[in-house]
Amino acid sequence: MFVTYAFAQESNHADGESAAEGVTHTETGVPHEGGHEATFPPFDPATYPSQILWLAVTFGLFYLFMKRVALPRISGTLEIRRDRVAQDLDQAARMKEEADEAIAAYEQELAQARNKAGGIGQEARDAAKAEADAERAEVEGKLDEQLAKSEARIGAIKAEAMKDVGTIAEDTAAAIVEQLVGKATKADIAAAVKSVSQ
């Protein structure tokens, strides 16, 4: 606590000392002796031995505290952290290995699935092609059968039409010959129509 000079003088008056006697006190409360100013105690050479003694005692106690209490706790904490980091690294390496194995298994299963899908697709294409070929052959067979029936029917209709055409041609030729030349025999007209139609 700092004491002002005025407060120090008032304190001196209160203690019963008079200012007239020439005794003055500093802010620290230490009286001046013999007219020379007192030095700050830590800088006073007379106090060096006690300061060195207390420095050694304090340093020794601090050293013991650090050696027995603080440093073991710090080293224990560092050891725990080192172990935890090593465990975390081991766990990360193990998890990475498991992930790599899972990825390899997934890629293998994916390749197998692709091969299987390709095989199934090829089988489906082959089955569809075979089914389409069978249906086409069946349709072509039905069409050939219908075509043969149609051709037979057309042939019959054509033969019947040709038979009628021959008769019509003979009748027409007979009528024309009659008007041009006169009467002609049916045998001559039939022979003439046959020779023209062939």
Q: What mean pLDDT comes out for the span 94-101?
A: 95
- The verdict on residue 112 lying in a domain is yes
pLDDT > 90? residue 54: yes
Verify that 159 and 174 share a domain, yes or no: no
pLDDT > 90? residue 105: yes
Verify that 97 and 26 share a domain, yes or no: no
Q: What mean pLDDT comes out for the span 123-136?
A: 92
Verify that 86 and 178 share a domain, yes or no: no
| Cβ neighbours of 189 (radius 10 Å) | 20
Verify that 88 and 126 share a domain, yes or no: yes
Verify that 67 and 126 share a domain, yes or no: yes
Q: What mean pLDDT comes out for the span 178-186?
A: 73
- Specify burial of residue 193 (Cβ count, 10 A radius: 0-12, 13-18, 19+): buried
Q: What is the mean pLDDT of the chain?
A: 81
Structure-token match 């007239």, residue found: 20
Secondary structure class of 181 (helix, strand, coil): coil
Verify that 132 and 185 share a domain, yes or no: no
- Number of domains composing the chain: 3
Q: Provide the domain limits for residue 1.
A: 1-32
Q: How far is CA 14 from the centre of its chain?
A: 88
- The verdict on residue 42 lying in a domain is no
pLDDT > 80? residue 90: yes
Verify that 95 and 178 share a domain, yes or no: no
pLDDT > 70? residue 14: no
Verify that 193 and 121 share a domain, yes or no: no
* Segment among 5-9, 90-94, 159-163 with least mean pLDDT: 5-9
Verify that 9 and 100 share a domain, yes or no: no
- The verdict on residue 23 lying in a domain is yes
Verify that 67 and 157 share a domain, yes or no: yes
